[in-house]
Structure 1
Amino acid sequence: MKNFNIKIVLFLNYFVFAILLNSVGTVILQVQQNFGISKSAASVLEGFKDLPIAICSFILASFLPKIGIKNSMLIALFLVTCMCFVMPFSNDFWFFKLLFAIVGISFALIKISVFTSIGLVTENDKEHSSFMGFLEGFFMVGVLMGNVLFSLFIDDHNPKSTEWLNVYWVLGGLSLASFLFLFFSKLDEREAKSEKTDLIGDVKNSISLLSYKKVLFFLLCAFLFVLVEQSFQTWTPTFYKEILKLPTSMSIQAAAVLAGAFALGRFLSGFFSRKFNWIYVVSFCIIGFAISILLVLPLTHNIHIDVNTGWLNAPLVVYLFPLMGGFLAPIYPSINSIILSSIPKYLHSAMSGLIVVFSAIGGTIGSIITGFVFQEFSGQHAFYLSLIPLSLLLVSAIFMSRLTINSKK
């Protein structure tokens, strides 16, 4: 298979960062128990992760190909490997702020590099869309495995225990393995470089993207989607622990089930993107997710969970809530692929940077709003609130589809 080795590298890198990035929900739950941090204070961890992603993506995106796509990924993996090996010795909340800041900076390098590389290892629009779907699906497999991995280190009988920090030895080992695998792989980066070799030319390329209406509507779509997605992913463990009254380890495993639903949905999007127009897939998913919110959330009110409840005897809603993620899953890879495949390859790095920036901002705002509403009102109110950005997302996606069609005529 052409470009097989580098495709494996992209999957592996995404897998590692899926675990690190999406551990924020678990860490938010744990720091509340270990360090007595409030929900609103703990929610800033999302900002420490997402704001460095946004800032670094904005600064690096336009001229990252000159640093080198492979070099950028190696730098990112080196940074997180070092930080993971420090975390087992952490004894204060600021360690976690530093961890997610470094993870955010590193992910900015990884995501721009990965998104830019997809255009280099695929041959056409349909292959691009399909590979994007499978890659994002594998990302969610990483999220699932990460939640399972963290839950194995949790002591339900001693909530104050910090033994769970030993999970970072495993994550450091994974990051190091990914670094070595990438180091010995080859990637032809020539097509990703613009004919304009100076920094000013690179910046102009990035700015020129904002002159396209379809790009502006896409960025709005990315912002709104991640606002909804991150709020669900980040606060699901806390929702299960405090609203459904499940044990901590089971609450974290529920986030793994949510990730599994995302993974399945994104793998299916890799298949459906070859069969149907993307706007039909996206519209179906948005409407389906909105309906599932209205049907499932009422079931979480006045629910009584026995102390001996496990996955084999839990109420139906315990399973239904994370399965809603299957509807959300195909949206992100679908809109990302359609915008990247509609512009020249030398602009992919700049466009990827914009994707990461607006996704990071959306994730931060979504998590903070959800944390505030969760604390002041209830978990149900926090998730009902997502119906507003979902409606705006549907409208924006329709406008983006029309502009994309018109630009091809």
Structure 2
Amino acid sequence: MTTKTGNLSLPLKLSFLIFSMVLNCMGIVILQLSEAKITYEKLGFLESFKDLPIAFISLFAVGLISKTGTKKALLTALLTVGICSAVLPFVEVFWFYKLWFAIIGVCFAIGKICIFGIIRNNIADEKSLAKTMNNVEASFMIGIFVVNTGFGWLISSSYSEFWKLGFLSVSLLSFITVFLFSKLDISEPASDGKGLIEGISAMIKLPILLFFLVIFCIVFIEQSFNSWLPSYYKTHLKVNSFFALQATSFMALFSYSGRVVTARLIHRFSLVRYYWICLAFILILLCIISGIQYFYSVQSEILLYLFPVIGLFLSPLYPVINSKMIAGMEREKISLLTSCIVIFSSLGSSVSSIMMSILFGNRMLDWYSLYILATVIVLLTVSSLYFYAAKKNL
């Protein structure tokens, strides 16, 4: 990495931290609003107000960013997040949550494309790219930990009715990051000058389509934990709100550890081999969890500690598979590729949350672990097809 990239490290990590906090407060919102008698069906579709705008704006974000510039687009996204987070605590109506998440989704789509473009524009080596992406995305896990721990303490305190004031800290952090970025000179990623339709049509190849399906499945699984694990802990494992939120915090902590360890070990392993090792451990843990639930006790205390450990092996999958694909892509196509990654990620998140709302709404939580296990098996199958197709097309 160059010196300039080193200077960018802190603002990039802070950006992912901020986006993580506003995106992953969904579990807190679901937990709090469900107690306010908002139905799980409505809360399940609340995720779509975040994810569908992400998918939609990603189609046009490349052209928008190329006109405004990466730095200006990223600063605008961060500033908007800061303003919206400052307003949220003072609005009570449910429809505003829909609008808030939609705006956050748009900002995240623009921000992520900008950040991926900046990273790819400075790093060419596949393993160095994987290391950097794991380090930057590790801050995404810290965001999940911070938001769940911070709000958990607030909700469990005597000031629980003022839980939304926690968003003011997100607002302050956004303004600080905007200030840090404004002081830096950022080189703009190159563009191949192709239109949207022409660019997307060039990506309609079997390995790339399978890659997007892998991304969809990974985010589908991640979202099954990130937004819904607190509610699962509270409604099915019968723990209090504070401990329910700490479940996601601990999973985020394990996920952070997984990405940091991956960044340190990635030079010693083949990316493909490392991916399979992580996937194998996820399958083993889910089989153990399912075995405990169905042969011992549905509410066994050990389940409280086993679910978060999955994050140690689940978290490296997304940056590892992304870095492998991005490293092999021409720099001019990175922004468009990132747009497609964001689209399929948001679709995976939205579909996962809708499916989870059905499980919760119909009181089918006994199937929670088996449902995720089945999805991991689908991911295993799709990943095998992707790596085979990618190898065959080299």
Same fold (TM over 0.5): yes
- Give the conservation status (yes or no) of the 8 Å contact 1:209–1:215: no
> CA shift at 1:285, angstroms?
1.9
Instruction: Output the amino acid matched with 1:68.
Output: G
Deviations, residues 74-95 of structure 1 (Å, cap 9, x unaligned): 1111111111111111212122
Deviations, residues 121-170 of structure 1 (Å, cap 9, x unaligned): 22411111111111222211111111111112103678xx5310110111
- Give the conservation status (yes or no) of the 8 Å contact 1:62–1:205: no
Q: Indicate which of 25, 29, 32 corresponds to 2:31.
A: 29
- Give the conservation status (yes or no) of the 8 Å contact 1:282–1:330: yes
Tell me which residue corresponds to 1:378. 364
Tell me which residue corresponds to 1:308. none
- Give the conservation status (yes or no) of the 8 Å contact 2:285–2:306: no
TM-score normalized by the length of structure 2: 0.94
Distance 1:276 1:403 in 2: 21
- Give the conservation status (yes or no) of the 8 Å contact 2:78–2:107: yes
Tell me which residue corresponds to 1:266. 259
For residues 57-72 of structure 1, the aligned pairs below 5 Å read 57-62=58-63, 64-72=65-73
Tell me which residue corresponds to 2:20. 18
Instruction: Output the amino acid matched with 2:214.
Output: C
Instruction: Output the amino acid matched with 2:212.
Output: L
Tell me which residue corresponds to 1:133. 134
Instruction: Output the amino acid matched with 2:203.
Output: L
Deviations, residues 6-42 of structure 1 (Å, cap 9, x unaligned): 2222111001111111110111001111x31011211
Distance 1:65 1:272 in 2: 35
Deviations, residues 320-367 of structure 1 (Å, cap 9, x unaligned): 221112121111001111111111011000000000000000100011
> CA shift at 1:374, angstroms?
2.4
1:319 equivalenced with 2:305 (yes/no): yes
Q: Percent identity?
A: 29
Query: Secondary structure of 1:192's partner?
Result: coil
- Give the conservation status (yes or no) of the 8 Å contact 1:268–1:330: no
Deviations, residues 308-328 of structure 1 (Å, cap 9, x unaligned): xxxxxxx33221221112121
> CA shift at 1:298, angstroms?
4.5
> CA shift at 1:275, angstroms?
1.7
Distance 1:157 1:388 in 2: 41
Query: Secondary structure of 2:268's partner?
Result: coil
> CA shift at 1:246, angstroms?
1.1
Could you tell me which runs of 5 or more consecutive residues in structure 2 were left unpaired when the two chains were aligned.
none
Distance 1:134 1:209 in 2: 30
Could you tell me which runs of 5 or more consecutive residues in structure 1 were left unpaired when the two chains were aligned.
306-314
1:193 equivalenced with 2:186 (yes/no): no
For residues 8-407 of structure 1, the aligned pairs below 5 Å read 8-33=10-35, 35-62=36-63, 64-155=65-156, 161-189=160-188, 191-194=189-192, 196=193, 201-299=194-292, 302=297, 315-407=301-393
| Distance change >3 Å, CA 272–CA 95, structure 1 → 2 | same
| Distance change >3 Å, CA 263–CA 5, structure 1 → 2 | same
TM-score normalized by the length of structure 1: 0.90
Distance 2:177 2:292 in 1: 42
| Distance change >3 Å, CA 149–CA 156, structure 1 → 2 | closer
| Distance change >3 Å, CA 373–CA 206, structure 1 → 2 | same
RMSD: 1.9
> CA shift at 1:71, angstroms?
1.1
Distance 2:167 2:204 in 1: 44
> CA shift at 1:273, angstroms?
2.4
> CA shift at 1:300, angstroms?
5.0
Q: Which runs of 4+ in 1 moved over 4 A?
A: 300-305
> CA shift at 1:382, angstroms?
2.8
